Amino acid sequence: MAVDLRGRSFLTLKDFTAEEIEYLVDLAKDLKDKKKKGIFEKNLLNKNVALIFEKPSTRTRCSFTVGAVDEGAHPEYLGKDDIQLGYKETVEDTARVLGRMFDGIEFRGFSQETVEKLAEYSGVPVWNGLTDEDHPTQVLADFLTIKEKFGKLKGINFVYVGDGRNNMANALMIGCSKMGLNFAIGSPESLFPEENLVKLCEGYAKESGSTIKITSDVKEAVKNADIIYTDVWISMGEEDKKAERVALLKDYQVNDELMNSTGNENTIFMHCLPAVRGYEVTNEVIEGEKSVVFDEAENRMHTIKAVMVATLKD
C-alpha cells in the first residue's frame, strides 16, 4: 500500500514506521535530483507556512525557507520577539490562530510539549525543527547522507560519541533502531540517555533486527564503526556548564586517533553542525576526506522539503 502522510505532523520519529521514514528519505532523494536538474513541480503552490523560532538557526531556517519557496509556498518567519507564544498568549491560543491562517507550522525551540500542543490545537501539520528532547528533521538528513554514501541503512554500524542524553543522541537512537542500523553511544555514564527511551528503542531494534549498545568506553564503542557522529558538548541554554562539560568530555573528542581505531578504513565522520572545532571534533577530522558534514547540511534542505511536500501536498 502506498504511503500517504498528508495532514500528518512530524514531531518525532517515534510516530512513524520504518516504511514511512524510508518513504521520506526516498522522496527527498527524488526532490534533490529534480532540483539539480532545474525541475520544480511546485507541489505546495499557494500554501503558507509559519516558521516559529525560539532558538536561532542556520540550517533549519534556511532549509524550511528555501524548501518552501522551491515548492511554491510562502514561508513566514516568526522569531521569539515577533509573536506572543507562551508569554502574553497561551500556546493553545497561538496554535488556533496560526492554524486558521497557515497551512503548516514549523517550530524550533525548547519544549517538546510546545510543539505537541501546536500540533494538537492548530488543526494543520506541525513540524519539529528542534526541541531540547528531539531533532527528527536532522535524522532524516543524516539518513539521506548515509544512503548516498553506503547505498543502504539497514546493517550500518552507527556510533554516537559525546553527550549521550542530548536531543541528537535521542533522535538518532530512535531513528537508527527503527531503521535497522546498529546503534552505539560512547559517553560518560553521567550523560547516558534516559533509561525509558533506551528500553523503547530496544523494542524498535528487536523489531528491525538491529542492536543498541551504550558504554563509557569510547574505544570499545567505535569498534567496526561505519559512522562516527558527534555533536556540541554544550547545548543551547547550557552555556553555564561549559567548564564542567569540557572536563567531562575531553576524552570523547573525535580526532584522528579515534577515527583510526575503528578497524574500518571506510569509516566516515558526521556532525549536525554547528561544530566547535577543537572541542568535540578536531579541525583535521572535520576538514578531512572522511568528513561528510556539508553533505549532511545540504541534505537538511532536501529532507525538510520532503516532509513539507509529503504532509501538505494536495
The closest alpha carbon to 67, from 274, 313, 310, 303, belongs to 303
Active site residue 74: no
Contacts of 90 (CB under 8 A, 6+ apart): none
| Active-site option among 103, 138, 226, 253 | 138
Given a contact cutoff of 8 angstroms between Cβ atoms, the answer to whether 280 and 233 are in contact is yes
Active site residue 272: yes
Given a contact cutoff of 8 angstroms between Cβ atoms, the answer to whether 207 and 248 are in contact is no
| Active-site option among 8, 135, 271, 302 | 135
The Cβ of residue 40 has, within 10 Å, a number of other Cβ atoms equal to 13
If DSSP states are collapsed to H, E and C, what string results for 188-224? CHHHCCCHHHHHHHHHHHHHHCCCEEEECCHHHHCCC
Would you state the cell numbers that stand for residue 183, as one nine-digit string?
A: 546503534
| Active-site option among 59, 231, 245, 253 | 231
The closest alpha carbon to 104, from 195, 208, 250, 6, belongs to 6
Active site residue 138: yes
Active site residue 277: no
| Active-site option among 59, 61, 245, 300 | 300
| Active-site option among 61, 108, 271, 302 | 108
Given a contact cutoff of 8 angstroms between Cβ atoms, the answer to whether 12 and 134 are in contact is yes
Q: What angle do CA 94, 99, 101 make, to 5 degrees?
A: 100
Q: Using CA atoms, how far apart are residues 50 and 46, in angstroms rounded to an integer?
A: 13
Active site residue 271: no
Given a contact cutoff of 8 angstroms between Cβ atoms, the answer to whether 181 and 145 are in contact is no
Catalytic residues: 108, 135, 138, 231, 272, 300
